[in-house]
Structure 1
């Protein structure tokens, strides 16, 4: 029998005195979880300076020096998304791919009132990547980040809702936000606002529940489905949107049904053809319903849940050359640590992580348990052979300091 599993970023236990409390919320984590999470909007004034995460200088570097390609950027003006060809071009000898960002074209569109949207910043700007990784671990839900850079007195998008929760962090300038309650509560990822354009437009004509101007250091939380529109004020506005792609009971139900169907397809009776000339399916439906209920009782969505959860977030960075150097110079004094954001789950003798799974001998499990505390450990404490294996697998990395 396997031992009870241990997991380092359990969504039920990680939310406390972390980045959410210290940088995003003016209420306690307990009050946020009970009264606001997935329920209603929360405006937190002056909770901090976010310029260590992102800034105007970061925008210019990403657009002019990093060689980004679509879909890491899109542009919008007056509610319409601009064609990619209007701000992309090849980048010269050795870089002839046509969808690279053209900083001159971007500047011209921006000067004409278009909003710049830098997408998936958790992949392209390390301070944002580290922050979103910490927040995702605390919340137990995947987090991604976009930046919106809007010219003065302009807006990029009309009233709409998102299918994920958001934290809006005002970085520079100011922006007026007009918020309305949902027309469709808790939309799923395949239920976008464009399916309800008329209801959204009608709701936007009513009195808002929030009409406010965000200043630098303000943070606005919106559950998925809440309508919003925003317009820059008298200067360029830069804000980060942290999108929280919340797991739902429906998602778990999908995985439960998928596992049940996978079991049913192994049943020879379920694979049998129906008789020739079947016109009334009632008897067949009732029989299949009983079969399906039987396999649902046996179905286990946990493996699929963990696989999906792992695939929607990335592990912490790993430098291949630093990893090789550590492996080559490994001795008992070499300090190593668990790689960040691995979502490790020990179901002895197997360790599941975002980079795969490993099985261990019984005498190795105490060292693995110690490793899961997240602290730095000398390789000799783990055992040189075990430390070398973990380095090769990308589960541990050289200690940072």
Structure 2
């Protein structure tokens, strides 16, 4: 039986059985003592009865021993019963009126109470001691597991004893050692990824900068050729798009790799939204689009300003890219006791219902908007940044009526 392999359980059952065995032996001793007492009381009662008869009926003295020692017949039993019942001496008579029986009963009650109480106390002590030690060890395991998770102690539970709990500790040690190995490997992978991304960034930026310079040189030649001018303009647009794509890819890769740490501080979100909008002012004017910001007052929030600015800017950029002339873009800033909400509205083309569940996937391009420019990772980047702040983004849209992206930031914690 597996339970008996457990050293603690085996000790517990042995102690329990010893207490029960001691109780059984003590019970037998009490039975013997009660029997001896009953014999003593019966003899005492017979001595008293013999003395009474001898004093009052001396002529029966020679026959009195036979009264108590001779075998009795059934007829004699019935005759004696009939005689004594006339005086109220019968089965229904209460024990307190029969001193011998009453004395034995009271002694038994007291002794049985003492024995049962003592056994119960001993059994309780044995069970309490076992469970206290058992759960104390479990509580220690739990505390040490939390400390391992927080990195405050080593990756091992200190337990070299036998038993099921010790086996559990060994299993936990195996798991934590494996996790520790994977964590260290992941740290090395992230460090390698960070270095790789940095190198790739420099390697890509250099040829892009060179191409941009070549374009500027060619524009400076004053070539009166509309075809060349058109090609140069398209080339500049594609180079800018590639630069944005590379920058966003590097940001997204760093966020996914977990090598970015947020540096949070108190930030006025009204100013952050104005800063995000400022980079699009020229484009809004050129494309004849209206912009409006609505707030109920000054709203401050504990966040990483640079990364939150990136997320808000991507949502505004998305709205700009999916609206046309005379469309309106609005940013609403709202504060509640539990949440801070930043909602970016537009009354543009809207998002097709088939695309709503996919808009945050990287590089996702809807079949309904293949003519739109974009890298396809702006919304993914915004979603990742907001989730790092402990919040989330929701989206609502209707074809031909517009779209609303809402950032939900919790106010319950300041981490």
Into which bin does the TM-score normalised by the smaller protein fall?
A: under 0.3
Structure having the larger proportion of residues in helix: 2
Larger Rg: 2
Could you tell me the TM-score, scaled by structure 2's length?
Answer: 0.21
Could you tell me the TM-score, scaled by structure 1's length?
Answer: 0.21
Which protein, 1 or 2, shows the higher relative CO under an 8 Å CA cutoff with sep ≥ 6?
Answer: 1
